[in-house]
């Protein structure tokens, strides 16, 4: 947008910073904004600033919320004896979407990754141990991602929580539904075989 109005170039420069947005996409978005009504643009701008102002992390489980503690932690209908550990705040919504899980959550705010300088102290592991130590928790389901970092974080959690006497479980790794044996990678297939259950 070297040749366009200055405010248009500035908008394109800001949009390019968004993930997955290159120059062409940014220009297309900017032209769309120009064609939109003043009200539509104002609504988008307000939504952007409000989300930063209103959304905090729950002091209990570290998931995203506008109230503290979050709706899930406050819900007396949720099973207090069950904690599902996930990596990121948005992982909570992935599990909520299946509408089956009735326990609570604990967001680690990342995974162990020594190469990136992320050790146990950078995560909310201490807080998890504290929540479990207080008592009343019977099972911790580790739902970190099934990759190298997620697996090693799961191992670390299992070891760390060992002293508390709580049962630590890991979500099943296997063939995805609708998947094809022929196209499955070796690691997934090995996990699927190892994790077989009686029918």
Min. distance of Cβ 74 from its own copies in angstroms?
13
Min. distance of Cβ 91 from its own copies in angstroms?
11
Q: With respect to its own copies, which residue has the nearer C-beta, 35 or 198? A: 35
What's the CA gap between 72 and 49, in Å, rounded? Answer: 25
Instruction: Retrieve residue 53's tokens.
Output: 């102002």
Q: With respect to its own copies, which residue has the nearer C-beta, 124 or 170? A: 124
- Residues binding its own copies (CB under 8 A): 1-8, 10-11, 13-15, 17-20, 25, 27-34, 36, 38, 40-55, 64-66, 89-90, 92-93, 96-97
User: In the chain, which residue ranges form alpha helices assigned H by DSSP?
Assistant: 6-16, 23-35, 38-54, 71-74, 89-96, 125-133, 148-161, 186-194
Min. distance of Cβ 90 from its own copies in angstroms?
6
Min. distance of Cβ 158 from its own copies in angstroms?
27
What's the CA gap between 156 and 16, in Å, rounded? Answer: 38
The CA-based dihedral angle spanning residues 79, 83, 88, 89, taken in that order and rounded to the nearest 10 degrees: 20
Q: With respect to its own copies, which residue has the nearer C-beta, 66 or 126? A: 66
Q: With respect to its own copies, which residue has the nearer C-beta, 72 or 128? A: 72
Pairing of strands 56-57, 79-86: unpaired
């Amino acid at each position: 947008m070297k040749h366009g109005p200055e405010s248009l170039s500035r908008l394109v420069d800001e949009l390019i910073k968004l993930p997955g947005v290159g120059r062409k996409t940014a220009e297309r978005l900017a032209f769309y904004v120009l064609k939109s009504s003043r009200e539509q643009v104002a609504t988008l701008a307000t939504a952007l600033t409000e989300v930063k102002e209103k959304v905090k992390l729950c002091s209990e489980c570290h998931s995203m919320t506008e109230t503290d503690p979050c709706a899930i932690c406050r819900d007396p209908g949720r099973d207090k004896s069950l904690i599902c550990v996930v990596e990121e705040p948005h992982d909570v919504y992935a599990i909520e979407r299946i509408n089956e899980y009735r326990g609570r959550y604990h967001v680690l705010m990342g995974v162990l990754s020594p190469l990136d300088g992320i050790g146990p102290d950078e995560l909310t592991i201490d807080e998890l141990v504290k929540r479990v130590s207080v008592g009343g928790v019977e099972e911790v389901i580790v739902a970190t991602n099934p990759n190298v970092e997620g697996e090693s974080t799961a191992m670390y959690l299992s070891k760390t929580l060992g002293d508390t006497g709580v049962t630590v479980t890991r979500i099943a790794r296997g063939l995805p539904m609708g998947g094809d044996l022929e196209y499955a990678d070796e690691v997934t297939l090995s996990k699927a075989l190892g994790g077989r259950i009686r029918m």
